Amino acid sequence: MLLFDGHLDLAYNAIDWNRDLRQSVEDIRAQETLAGMNDLGRRRNTVTFPELRKAQVGLCMATTCTRLESASIAHPFGKTSPQAVYAMAVAHLAYYRAMERGGWMKMLRTRGDLQTHADAYLRDPESTPLGYILHMECADAVLTPDDIHAWFDDGLRTIGLTHYGVNRYGGGTRSEVGLTTDAIPLLKSIESLGMILDMTHLSDVAFWQAADRFSGRIMATHQNARALCNWQRQFPDDQLKHVIQRDGVIGVALDAIMIQPGYVRGQTIPEVTLDDLVNHMDHICQLAGNCRNVGIGSDLDGGFGTEQTPKDLDTIADLQRLPERLMNRGYSETDIRAIMSGNWIRFFSEALPE
pLDDT digits (tens, 9 = 90+) for 25-36: 999 999 999 999
Neighbours of 239 (CB within 10 A): 21
pLDDT band at 229 (very low <50, low <70, confident <90, very high): very high
Query: Which residue ranges form the domains of the chain, and what is each CATH number?
Result: 3-351 (3.20.20.140)
Q: Rounded mean pLDDT of 82-94?
A: 96
For residue 334, pLDDT beyond 60 = yes
Q: How many residues does the chain have?
A: 354
For residue 74, pLDDT beyond 60 = no
E-state strands within 38-90:
57-64, 67-68, 78-79
Write down the pLDDT at residue 75: 58
For residue 331, pLDDT beyond 80 = yes
Exposure string for 112-127, b = 16+ CB within 10 A, e = fewer? ebbeebbebbeeeeee
Write down the pLDDT at residue 83: 95
- Give the whole-number percent of the chain exceeding pLDDT 70: 98
Distance CA 265, CA 268 (A): 6
Q: Rounded mean pLDDT of 331-353?
A: 98
How far lies 109's CA from each of 43, 114, 229, in Å? 34, 8, 35
For residue 325, pLDDT beyond 90 = yes
Write down the pLDDT at residue 70: 73
For residue 12, pLDDT beyond 70 = yes
Distance CA 149, CA 4 (A): 27
Give the containing element (helix H, strand E) for 236.
none
| Spatial CA neighbour of 59 closest among 251, 256, 266, 235 | 251
Phi and psi of 72, rounded to 5°?
-85, -5
For residue 158, pLDDT beyond 80 = yes
pLDDT band at 76 (very low <50, low <70, confident <90, very high): low
For residue 73, pLDDT beyond 70 = no
Give the containing element (helix H, strand E) for 323.
helix 322-328
| pLDDT mean across residues, the chain | 96
Write down the pLDDT at residue 72: 57
| Spatial CA neighbour of 3 closest among 303, 274, 302, 316 | 316
Write down the pLDDT at residue 279: 98
Distance CA 217, CA 214 (A): 8
Q: What pTM does this model have?
A: 0.97
Q: 54-72: per-residue pLDDT in tens?
A: 999 999 999 999 998 876 5
Write down the pLDDT at residue 304: 97
